[in-house]
Amino acid sequence: MFLTPRRARRLSAAGLAASGLLLASACTAGSSGGADSGPKADARQTIEVWHGWSADHEVKAFDDAVAGFRKLHPNITVKLVKDQTDDRITNAIRGGNPPDVVSSFSTDSVGSWCNSGAWQDLTPYLTKSKVDLNMFPQAVRQYTEYKGRRCAMPLLADAYGLYYNKALMKGNQPPKTIGELTALAKKLTVRDPDGTIKVAGFMPSAQYYEHQVQHLATEFGAKWLTPDGRSNFAADPAFKAYLQWNKSLIDWYGYANVKKFLKSLGQEFETSNPFEQGRVAMAVDGEWRTKFLQDEAPKVDYGTAPAPVPDDQTARYGGGFVTGTVIGIPRGAKHPQAAWEFVKYLTTDTHALVTFANGLGNVPSTLPALASPELKMPPQFQTFLDVFKNPNSATTPPTPNGNDYVVKFQAFTQDQWEPGRVPDLDRALKDLDTRVDQAIKLNGG
């Protein structure tokens, strides 16, 4: 997706965690509303909708998607307010003067929104409208609810896969297993005599753009939380397997060479991106990169494929990490009935979703929209449509304190593990579990 502001906000993991904590402790003003409160949906009224998109083409795409709703409900005037952040949404809810509909790029905060009641439970609306949730893939249903309380609906999605530069691949096929990825990464790497990395076959560091822990550990089948919502780092061997693979390839490059390479890179969302510059042969990235490559590096001949999985988990190949934008009705909304009609339309109407997806270069978030002939994307985009609907795809589960557990694991990986400062990995993961569990407990988990 051609959304630098959106990606920057989502990638600020610490900021998202802090936002989640703020949401959990705020939002005490205003009534909860409900499926039978406020003016009826057929009454003449104006609803205010806050969203985070800000660039001209983004705002136009949202407006185009809403056009069908305006025709369907001429009595409801829709006022769209762009460039809204989670903090602004939180402050409005806490102050008792929220808009009628809110949208966020941060699925990590769903747990705190649902747990605190900041966003209304949509179950009564869904039941009354007879919405079939099976139109959404399982991972999507997971990141829009917390402990049975569904306070959000999905609005477009992001899926992750493997990008590969065909010229740099030198005729090799994209790897399907971690073993194949490792061998090919070494084969395709080009160095100067002093070890300086000129072209990285694959950069394993969690500090490399989209190679953050949640995107790569997911490929190892990692289960972030236990069924009762506790940290699972020490008990799940997938985390140890991911870390050991990460460190082994970093050590092959040499940590000093990795740090030097990372410092030499340009901005992720500018033309200096190393994949677009031919400095990286393979990289895990989201579907929006197809739009960047089309606009910024049209001469790069590239392909896409699902990200590799461990050699002993080949049955899981085809899945990947998924996440997305969410939309809901805040506590204190003045027109909840009309707000629900808007949310339902925008998240379940195939034409609206496809119109929005085409405008932004995102994955539409329902199975019917994925199969729509109206969807117009480059051939490389098909990988992400397939990943999104694959039953082996997964996401990070919500908690009452946002993505704090991901933030802690990311910090551990890049600041302690990769530099070689962890003498006892098993003990370190147990300590990490303790810290994560304490934070969850403090926030009502």
- Say what the pLDDT of residue 40 is: 83
Going through 196-264 in order, the beta strands assigned E by DSSP cover 197-199
| Residue linked to tokens 């900041």 | 118
pTM tops 0.85: yes
Q: What is the DSSP string of 122-190?
A: -HHHHHHHT--GGGS-HHHHHTT-BTTB---EEEEEEEEEEEEEHHHHTTPPPPSBHHHHHHHHHHH-E
- Within the chain, how many helices (H) and strands (E) appear? 19, 9
**Residue 285 DSSP code:** E
Tell me the Ramachandran region of residue 441: left when phi exceeds 0, alpha when psi lies from -120 to 50, beta otherwise: alpha
Q: What phi and psi, each to the nearest 5 degrees, are found at residue 432? A: -65, -40
Low-confidence ranges of the chain (pLDDT < 70): 1-37, 445
Residue-level length of the chain? 445
Which sequence spans correspond to the domains of the chain? 4-158+321-389
The pairing of strands 153-165 and 76-81 is unpaired
Number of other CB atoms surrounding residue 142 within 10 Å: 18
Q: What is the pLDDT of residue 80?
A: 97
Q: Residues 321, 240, 425, 407: what is their CA dihedral angle, to the nearest 10 degrees?
A: 10
Please determine, looking at this structure, whether the domain spanning 4-158+321-389 carries the CATH number 3.40.50.150.
no
pLDDT in the model for residue 354: 97
CA 163 to chain centre: 17
Q: Is 397 helix (H, G, I), strand (E, B) or coil?
A: coil
- Burial profile 280-310: b = 16 or more Cβ within 10 angstroms, e = fewer: bbbbbbbbbbbbbbeebbeebebebbbbbbb
- What span, in angstroms and rounded, lies between the C-alpha atoms of 99 and 332? 8
| Rounded CA separation 93/119 (Å) | 9
For 72, other C-beta atoms within 10 Å of its C-beta total 12
What was the pLDDT predicted at 443?
80
How many C-beta atoms surround the C-beta of residue 9 within 10 A?
A: 18
The confidence score (pLDDT) of residue 36 equals 60
